[in-house]
Amino acid sequence: MRTSLTPAEARHAVDLLASRSLIRLVTEIDDNGAVPPRRLAGTLPDLSAHQLRSASEAARAYGIVRVAPGAGLELTAYGVELADLYDALARWARRHSVPAAVCEFSSRIQHALGLLAPSLTPKSADCPAPPLHGRPISGEAEADLARVRTLVIQWLAGNSRVARTEPVRAA
């Protein structure tokens, strides 16, 4: 289990995790249970067929979802942990009005991950957090963000294939 990422790995992991279609897929399954692949378009009508296909293929390739016979796409243990991580990111963002006091769940997660991205590599881990809304992050917000950063790093360490630029294909 690796705990440090190269800049390219951190960028790839954040890009994947911040994908709006992946966020929507994971949170939908977490909230409502398995989704038959043929019902994805009806379940997530705000996503195009291409977005749904890309998200479900990536989620399967990275071990976040699996196809359960008779049930459809369901979260793996990593997927359940990712859903919990998304909830923690969204709670931090909501508490600190990121990116705004009122916004979409996936936007909150994307912005929180964007703030964390620079601190996910060993050389930048000790850098101060970037400004929030054009002003420095408060001590409380920074401490809360550090806790969420730890959760992101733990999740990435547990599912190290997400940081790879190419997914590991099941044999």
pLDDT tens column, 130-164: 555 455 566 777 888 889 999 999 999 888 888 77
> Once rounded to an integer, what is the mean pLDDT over residues 98-109?
88
Rounded distance between C-alpha atoms, residue 131 and residue 49, angstroms: 37
pLDDT grade for 1, boundaries at 50, 70 and 90:
very low
Q: Is the predicted pLDDT of residue 110 greater than 60, yes or no?
A: yes
pLDDT attached to residue 144: 86
Q: Residue 3: what pLDDT?
A: 57
Angle at 26 between CA 7 and CA 120, to 5 degrees: 20
Q: Can you name the residues that pair with 91 across neighbouring β-strands?
A: none
Residue 171 burial (C-beta neighbours within 10 Å; 0-12, 13-18, 19+): exposed
- Evaluate if residue 170 carries a pLDDT over 70: no
Report the candidate in 58, 85, 106, 83 with the shortest Cα–Cα distance to residue 154: 85
Domain edges within the chain = 27-76, 79-162
Instruction: Read off the pLDDT of residues 122-132 as tens digits, 9 standing for 90 and up.
Output: 755 455 555 55
- Which pLDDT value is given to residue 129? 53
Q: What is the pTM of this model?
A: 0.85
